[in-house]
Amino acid sequence: MAGRISLKEVELKAWSSYFEDGLWDIFLGAMLLIGGIRSVTDYVWYTLLILPLILVLPLGKRLITTPRLGHVKFGPSRKARQRKAVVALIISVVAIFALLLLSNSGLALPPRMLISPMMAVWIAVIFGVLAYFLDFKRLYAYGLLYGMSEVIWGQFGKPVGPVAQTIIGIAILAIGLVVFVRFLRRYPLPAKGASDVKA
Amino acid sequence: MSKPKAGTKEGSPLTDIDTLVHEPARLNIMAQLYVLEGADFLFLMRQTGLTFGNLSSHLGKLEYAGYVNVKKEFVGKKPHTMLRLTEKGRTAFRRYMQTMRQVFDELPSN
């Protein structure tokens, strides 16, 4: 028996298994895709598609992931990291909301060409912070991709910006679907009552 | 005073190894439960890679020793068997880790 047990790796593996379902990737890719299509077409009602999309994560976890992986309660240190991720997300949403309010307030702001790189860096930083606290490495790459779409939009405007956003959204969505299918194959639904067993 | 185990020297940390924890499958189970607040049977099965029967058998031994608590809970309307390490189990696991560190620390370096 090996003398070293890396408990940190054991915990990390348990935590990471919940990201093997690809649902986060599907959600983030679809958000970008819907945003891109809405901007290309100028059909505002496309925004309504975001509403059911928001349900993908909680419903997917409940109906697809948990029945295949089982139930788990993580320890206090993991819960603390989750709380920090939530705080970081709230701060970023508030900041973006504030920027949107400012841009609609009539105040003189720098042109999108200058704001875009700053937004891109901000987006990449937020994704990076979330990736760190959630130990979800793919978020680092998605942050860079999200930021890249923002820079392209700022530099080239319509229609190049929204098209780039759509393509990046499709790429992330495709990764999510591949991960999702792999997850379904790796973790088939167990026999009924597998999580209800008296030892 | 009880005889030291065969192949071990009296007073050596090898004599203190908790064989209930030391078994690889049970060590895996206890390591999982040590880092988590609790998990159901299916989650443990997925993480340890053990079969249904194998896991059930090892959990039975750990529960008999008082190291694991098995509690039936309801998540929504579905029953789930939640497994947790007891305080006794956590202490035993910590003692096991300490013992193993001593064992390897005392090995002569070549």
Shortest CA distance from A14: residue in chain B: B47
Would you list the domain boundaries of chain A?
Answer: 2-69+78-189
CB within 8 Å: A72 and B43: yes
| Contact between residue A26 and residue A56 where contact means Cβ atoms under 8 Å apart | yes
Residue A135 C-alpha from the chain's centroid: 12
Q: What percent of chain A has pLDDT over 70?
A: 86
Grouping H, G, I as helix, E, B as strand and the rest as coil, residue B78 is strand
| Contact between residue B47 and residue B40 where contact means Cβ atoms under 8 Å apart | no
Confidence label for B37 from pLDDT (cuts 50, 70 and 90): very high
Q: Across residues A58-86, what is the average pLDDT?
A: 91
Q: Taking CB atoms and an 8 Å cutoff, what residues of chain B touch A5?
A: 27, 31, 97
pLDDT tens track for A110-140: 666 667 788 888 889 889 999 999 999 999 9
CB within 8 Å: B59 and A199: yes
CB within 8 Å: A71 and B39: yes
pLDDT tens track for B47-101: 999 999 999 999 999 999 999 999 988 877 877 789 999 999 999 999 999 998 8
Q: How far apart are CA A91 and CA A53, in angstroms?
A: 22
Q: How far apart are CA A126 and CA B25, in angstroms?
A: 40
Q: Taking CB atoms and an 8 Å cutoff, what residues of chain B touch A190?
A: 42, 45
CB within 8 Å: A199 and B83: yes
Identify the residue with better confidence: A199 or B71.
B71
CB pairs under 8 A between A and B: 99
Alpha helices in chain A, H assignment, sequence order: 7-16, 23-41, 50-54, 56-60, 66-69, 76-104, 112-134, 138-156, 160-186
Label residue A107 exposed, middle or buried (CB < 10 Å: 0-12, 13-18, 19+): exposed
Pick the residue of A12, A63, A195, A198 with the most B CBs within 10 A to test the interface with B by mutation. Answer: A195
* Structure-token match 């991720």, residue found: A85
Residue B20 C-alpha from the chain's centroid: 7
Residues with Cβ within 8 Å of A46's Cβ and at least 6 positions away in sequence, in order, are A34, A37, A38
| Contact between residue B97 and residue B82 where contact means Cβ atoms under 8 Å apart | no
End-to-end CA separation in angstroms for chain B? 34
**Pick from B74, B79, B93: nearest CA to B29:** B93
**Pick from A25, A57, A28, A22: nearest CA to A179:** A22
CB within 8 Å: B27 and A5: yes
Q: Of chain B residues 25-64, which have a CB less than 8 A from chain A?
A: 27, 31-32, 34-47, 52, 56, 59-60, 62-63
